[in-house]
Structure 1
């Protein structure tokens, strides 16, 4: 089936431009010109990807992102004229999967959409694919996480990032390696985007965050949870 894309922007000409390029790639495209409409259509359509502008006429795009992320793990790519680093970092911390600054190349947007649709770019595993560690279980097939019998909710990208680390316990990944494996395309922005998502994962895991995801200074990150069969 064709992937469903929701384009959210108050500028009709931008919606039309993106729709033209995305439909040329065989995608099913829907449009929203306001935040409230975007929230409603996300619930009604369950799209695969939302392209979200931050400068909407009724709600802040960040408010829309927060409300969407509270109920859905849909991939969200922010497409906005706001180039300030703080806007990017806040968007990513709220669960955005990517961030594109206007003016943009429509072909780049299409490439980014294809990239998130290819996730997770992780090796397939056996039918019983649950990863079990001391106090923590991660199920790739159901995309569920349990910490001491408490459900942990992560965005799609944060889940993929944690899973990439957890599948190789003890291995140190550089930021560039994580960008290549999880983001799934050549990333030309600041590698610190990885740091933002690591902080989000640790926050979701609460006091146990640093117990499972360790920092290797000057290099990157590694998963340090103890496999359940060693407890």
Structure 2
């Protein structure tokens, strides 16, 4: 089945550019020039929204808030010229799945769309954003991991891998699943890269590191039931 996208931006040129290039990639693309129009167009056939933040009327942030309050967990990529830390945190707290700053590269947008659709095909919806196991807390909406209320310092890629494993748990993800979801299809990286990052994550999680289980010949999964399970 072809994926259907909704592009929402009050700049017609941006909508036209994205529609043309995404349709060339095989997607079905609908366009809305306001949040109000988008809410009328959006239906359960849409697999993803590319949503501008700064629009007249309903802003992108407000539209995302409305959707999440209604229990609609369609993946959202925000497009915005606002890229401060507070803006990013606001977007993610409202349920954004990704964030692309303007001006953007069309190739980057396409890569992010492919990666997000791949990732959401792995993860069942609606997505939970917070998990706790004993002293370990993973808050995806805030991009934060703590152990006994102390911050765990993860790189962006490490956090994305941990988030992916957390949301997919207890499903086993292959290295190819992780590479495609975290690095996208336009980056050339080796399977070994996943193993290296997993090793680093385990080390940073300390006693909880063993919760990331390697199922030999298959891939990795996060086991919330027993942090002492052996590989």
Question: TM-score, normalising length from structure 1?
Answer: 0.59
Task: Trace 1:68-79 onto structure 2 (pairs within 5 A).
Answer: 68-70=67-69, 71-79=71-79
Task: Trace 1:48-67 onto structure 2 (pairs within 5 A).
Answer: 48-67=47-66
Residues 74 and 11 (structure 1), Cα distance of their counterparts in 2 relative to 1, 3 Å cut: same
Deviation at residue 143 of structure 1 after TM alignment: 6.1
Q: Could you tell me which residue of structure 1 aligns to residue 147 of structure 2?
A: none
Q: Could you tell me which residue of structure 2 aligns to residue 17 of structure 1?
A: 17
Determine helix, strand or coil for the equivalent of 1:118: helix
Determine helix, strand or coil for the equivalent of 2:6: strand
Is 1:163 paired with 2:162?
Answer: no
CA distance in 1, matches of 2:125, 2:34: 32
Residues 144 and 80 (structure 1), Cα distance of their counterparts in 2 relative to 1, 3 Å cut: closer
Is 1:29 paired with 2:29?
Answer: yes
Deviation at residue 180 of structure 1 after TM alignment: 4.9
CA distance in 2, matches of 1:109, 1:163: 23
Residues 181 and 106 (structure 1), Cα distance of their counterparts in 2 relative to 1, 3 Å cut: closer
Q: CA RMSD in A?
A: 3.8
Where structure 2 has 5 or more consecutive residues not aligned to the other structure, the ranges are 132-139, 142-159, 188-203, 213-221, 227-231
Deviation at residue 91 of structure 1 after TM alignment: 0.5
CA distance in 1, matches of 2:20, 2:11: 15
Deviations 1:53-96, CA, capped at 9 Å, x for gaps: 00111012111011122331211100111121211111112111
Q: Could you tell me which residue of structure 1 aligns to residue 110 of structure 2?
A: 110
Q: Could you tell me which residue of structure 1 aligns to residue 205 of structure 2?
A: 216
CA distance in 2, matches of 1:144, 1:179: 17
Residues 141 and 85 (structure 1), Cα distance of their counterparts in 2 relative to 1, 3 Å cut: closer
CA distance in 2, matches of 1:112, 1:100: 9
Where structure 1 has 5 or more consecutive residues not aligned to the other structure, the ranges are 123-139, 148-153, 169-177, 189-214
Determine helix, strand or coil for the equivalent of 1:109: helix
Deviation at residue 27 of structure 1 after TM alignment: 1.0
Question: TM-score, normalising length from structure 2?
Answer: 0.59
CA distance in 2, matches of 1:144, 1:69: 11
CA distance in 2, matches of 1:78, 1:144: 18
Task: Tell me the number of residue pairs that the alignment of Structure 1 and Structure 2 aligns.
Answer: 166
CA distance in 2, matches of 1:25, 1:186: 13
Larger RCO (CA within 8 A; separation ≥ 6): 1
Deviation at residue 185 of structure 1 after TM alignment: 2.6
